[in-house]
Each structure stands twice: as C-alpha cells, then as structure tokens.
Amino acid sequence: MAEISTIARPYAVAIFKLAKDDKKLNVWSDLLGLLSGLVTNSELKAFLEDTKILDSERETTLMTCVGNIDEHGKNLIKLLIENKRLMIIPYIYDIYEELKATEEGTMEAQIIVAEEPEAAVIKNLVASLEKKFNKKIESNLVIDKSIIGGTKIIVGDTVIDASVRGQLDSLAYSLKS
C-alpha cells in the first residue's frame, strides 16, 4: 500500500499546485472525487481493467462520464490511462484532499456519540476543537450505540475518548495489570 501512495503522491502534488495556481481547489476536488467514484464502481472498474479494451475506449468512456471538463482534466485522464494508473485515482484524491485541507487550514473531526445530540452541543464542541487545534474543523457526526454514552472524537491522529466504553476498557485493562 505504501507503494501505491508513493506512486499517487506526485500526481496529487502536481494537481494541487495547478489547482492552487488557477484558484480551482474545489473544482479539482469535485473532479477527483467523481473520478474516484467512477473507477471504484464495480461495473465500470471491470470495464476499465479489461485488457481487451483499447485505451481510446477507456478515455471516451471516462470523458463521457465526467462531462464537460477543461483541458487539464482531460490531460490528466489521458496521462493516467497511458501510464496504466487509473486505479490509483482514489489515492490521488485522498492525498489531494489532505493537501487542500492543510492549505485551507481545516481539519476533519469524527465525533462519535451513542445518541443524537442537540445541535448546540455539537456547535460548542466544534468551537472548542477549533480553539484547541487552531484550525477550522469540519465535523462528521457518527451515532454508535456501542460506546454506551459520552463522546469519542478523532481529529487527525488525535483521539479523545470520553466514552463510557473507553472508560470501561481502561478500567478493565488497569484491573488486569
């Protein structure tokens, strides 16, 4: 897997630099997201990976699926097809999104709770996280009854586990020691 990321990174960095220069970060984000969805679609993936299909047919199919895109987008699709790299698009997309988030000063936070909280609680929690990390936080709320109660927050590599399940697991571990 590290090898795929190593291959995908130069593409993502080049696309990011181009998007930043052209002030089209969101346009490229949308295009890469669409392409990622297309190449992971089981039926289209089978077609794209079929060795009997010509590169020109792959190109025509993808261009039809994405619709109206600029020359840079068309060139990316052609380049990935020529270099037999279409299936790394999801990795390119992930790396691109990381670069974009860093540029925009945003971080994604996964907020895991046992029950649906009030909007004000989430708003206050996000404000606290923004203050703590000194970045804009985009929250993703997940309802997971297995945590029993409390909250578990994942922001980048940081995990803040204030859940009942986490406390019980910690207690069980300390009792075993």
Q: Domain boundary residue among 70, 85, 102? A: 102
- State whether 138 and 57 are in the same domain: no
Sign of CA dihedral 122, 124, 127, 129: negative
Rounded Cα distance between 53 and 56, Å, is: 8
Rounded Cα distance between 107 and 130, Å, is: 9
61: buried, middle or exposed (CB in 10 Å: 19+, 13-18, 0-12)? middle
- State whether 88 and 131 are in the same domain: no
- State whether 97 and 124 are in the same domain: no
CATH code assigned at 131: 3.40.30
Rounded Cα distance between 51 and 59, Å, is: 14
Q: Domain boundary residue among 102, 136, 158? A: 102
Of 90, 116, 79, 82, which is closest to residue 32 (Cα–Cα)?
90
Q: What is the pLDDT of residues 123-141, one digit of tens each?
A: 999 999 999 988 889 899 9
User: CB neighbours of 144 closer than 8 A, spacing ≥ 6?
Assistant: 112, 113, 114, 152
- State whether 27 and 64 are in the same domain: yes
Q: What is the pLDDT of residues 5-53, one digit of tens each?
A: 899 999 999 999 999 999 999 999 999 999 999 999 999 999 999 999 9
pTM, entire model: 0.66
* CA count, 13 A, side-chain hemisphere, 135: 15
What is the pLDDT at residue 15?
97
Q: What is the mean pLDDT of residues 80-90?
A: 95
Q: Domain boundary residue among 102, 131, 154? A: 102
Count up the domains in the chain and report the number: 2
- State whether 95 and 143 are in the same domain: no
What is the pLDDT at residue 104?
85
Rounded Cα distance between 81 and 56, Å, is: 9
Range of the domain at 94: 2-102
- State whether 168 and 111 are in the same domain: yes
Which of the four pLDDT bands, split at 50, 70 and 90, describes residue 92?
Answer: very high
- State whether 78 and 124 are in the same domain: no
CATH code assigned at 15: 1.10.520.20
